[in-house]
Structure 1
Amino acid sequence: MRVLITGASGFCGRHLISYLESQDVEIYTLGTKPASQRHYSLTDPADVSTLADTLKTIQPNYIFHLAGVASSSNPTLFYQINIVYAATLLHALEITGDRDCPVLLVGTSAEYGMVSAEQVPIHEETPAHPYSHYGISKLSQTLMGLALSGQGRPLVMVRPFNIIGPGMPGYLSIQSFVNQIARISQGQQLPIIEVGNLNSSRDFIDINEVVKIYWQLIRTPLAYGQIINVCSGQGTVMEDLLLKLVKLANIDVKIQIDPARFKPVDVPVHYGSVKKLESLLGYSPQTNLESVLQSILSDINASP
């Protein structure tokens, strides 16, 4: 069984590879790095010819499209990568004549945009009104997937909420907390953690749970053609999460609000419904928040 992963060097990609290595599969990756054994190079996300040739060579049984841009000062990149790359991949599959290979397209809960307190937990049927380039571009990818699913392609459109675990991107608030805690523990920073808005509530889910869910969904025909929330179904206030981190790190700190860290637009309460996911998996996703926070702290402390 052959699996192709785009965006394999990213946060989710690395953890997905680690998980799939315990399964009986051959893992192939696609990205901008020079080609090597089982890694294929694609420097231009619009190069459908090269991508089609790559697919013909690998003949994957499953494709995970994890590649994407979540944070950038260049708005154009969101659309060049998040829309064009997905369109190129799906067009390349069409060129190869392979209409049976399931593809999992990774979207984001940012596709929902601003939601009211009455709209949580957020269901897949909740109207999508994204306000960020990230959310808008990923919604476009999802709509593309829905259109092709209607033509019989086995596509799964997932909307993960706040994925956490070792190796998270540095632009995320929780990683900023962890980095500051590590510097304080090492005597490299005064015992002051600078933060933005701590009143918002978010739905955190363990990366190890996420990659397991991805693997199950892509092999579940009932999931094809559907938008599926990947979440814990519970909201955690950012201040509570920070206090848990501080307690686990066993340090005395002062928490200081920095207005510069506030986002221009911030949804107060944002957590998803797991009902559809539970119906497809047959169980409820579990995230032990303290356990995953401890693993994040251990990972950053072990880093040189």
Structure 2
Amino acid sequence: MGRRVLVTGASGFVGRHVLAGLASAGYAALLGLGRHEGATVPAGAEFRAVDLADRVGLAACLRSFRPSHVLHLAAQASAAQAQGAGAETWRTNVAGLLNLADGLLAEVPKSTLIFVSSSEVYGRAFLSGESVTEDTIPKPVGVYARTKHVGEEMLTDVLAESESRLIILRPFNHTGPGQDERFVVPAFAHQIARIEAGLIPPRLAVGNLDSYRDFLDVRDVARAYAMTIEASERLESGTILNIAAGRPRKIRSVLDDLTQLARVPFEIVVDPSRARASEIHFASGDNRRIRKATGWMPEIPWSETLVQALEDARARVAAES
């Protein structure tokens, strides 16, 4: 039987890129789930509005679709926003995940669950100043990171004695067209677009520019997810894979590159409210395990990622004004 792939969080920033990448894979069926009706999906995919908090509705969906693979993206996606919404973050990132695991065990017990966790689980382990591997012991900091790490541990326990299989992915920072301004690259790009359009004064507000982060293009991350699905039968249940470029970039260099792409000059001003409180100065991941397991490597040049992020911001700002 061909693969029947279900993607949760399909209407989100990453989910839209993932569905676009999976739609041409020739699966027997491809279904995206999201909380709200009306999501646009590519040809070859379907969409259903299902809230993971709705155990009955979720079970009915799993029973009717019978996925062979579930790619779980649905989550509170912003670490900064999670910090101010602890209860909602735990409900979304852990309670909803447990509902999904229970539903799979009851309705499709031989399915493969690919859980998209986060590099944020490593937390204080980054203080070593070295690129982390999957064997690095997580030391999560903050609500978002803790919920993701608990999700990993909970799934390991819940699915341990079952016929279901589990793969855990830990993606590092990723960006691209469609990402909102809670994240650093679109935050810079949208300010540049508004300055170019004369909507705000020529002053770009920044937070901490001296941290290093491991950036990827969202389309490379979506391709990593697709290649993990393809390789899933060869992977041992419980496998953990970093999705990382392995090349940390200073935030200041990201801004410098975007400044070179801007059409007008501007002043850079520090806004303390934009500085995310964090002791993590350096974060980078070792990607050798996923390269060996799936053949994945990041392919999209960083320069292209920034050009497309800025063009997307310009189009969105033009549509707003």
Q: TM-score range by the shorter chain?
A: over 0.9
Residue in 2 that maps onto 1:204: 215
Say whether the 8 Å CA contact 1:113–1:128 is kept in structure 2.
yes
Determine if the alignment matches structure 1 residue 56 to structure 2 residue 59: no
2:140 to 123, 127, 130: 130
Say whether the 8 Å CA contact 1:178–1:297 is kept in structure 2.
yes
SS in 2 for 1:219: helix
Residue in 2 that maps onto 1:21: 23
CA gap of 1:283–1:4, structure 2 versus 1, over 3 A, is closer
Residue in 2 that maps onto 1:106: 116
Deviation per residue, 1:41-98 (Å, 9 max, x gap): 334x3432321211111112221111000324321011101011111111001111x2
TM-score calculated relative to the size of structure 1: 0.93
1:91 to 92, 102, 105: 102
Long gaps (5+) in structure 1: none
Deviation per residue, 1:203-236 (Å, 9 max, x gap): 0011111111101112323433111111101100
CA gap of 1:78–1:299, structure 2 versus 1, over 3 A, is same
Shift of residue 100 of structure 1?
2.2
Which shifted more, 148-157 or 210-219? 148-157
Shift of residue 23 of structure 1?
1.8
Say whether the 8 Å CA contact 2:214–2:284 is kept in structure 1.
yes
Runs of 4+ off more than 6 Å? none
Shift of residue 180 of structure 1?
0.3
Say whether the 8 Å CA contact 1:149–1:225 is kept in structure 2.
no
CA gap of 1:63–1:115, structure 2 versus 1, over 3 A, is same
1:81 to 66, 85, 92: 92
* Cα distance between partner residues in 2 of 1:116 and 1:58: 41
CA gap of 1:83–1:117, structure 2 versus 1, over 3 A, is closer
CA RMSD after TM alignment: 1.9
Long gaps (5+) in structure 2: 40-44
Shift of residue 15 of structure 1?
0.4
Determine if the alignment matches structure 1 residue 6 to structure 2 residue 14: no
* Cα distance between partner residues in 2 of 1:35 and 1:92: 24
* Cα distance between partner residues in 2 of 1:119 and 1:240: 19
TM-score calculated relative to the size of structure 2: 0.88
Determine if the alignment matches structure 1 residue 42 to structure 2 residue 50: yes
Shift of residue 284 of structure 1?
3.0
Say whether the 8 Å CA contact 2:205–2:270 is kept in structure 1.
yes
Determine if the alignment matches structure 1 residue 219 to structure 2 residue 230: yes
Which shifted more, 21-30 or 263-272? 21-30
The percent identity for this pair of structures is: 28
Q: Say how many residue pairs are matched.
A: 302
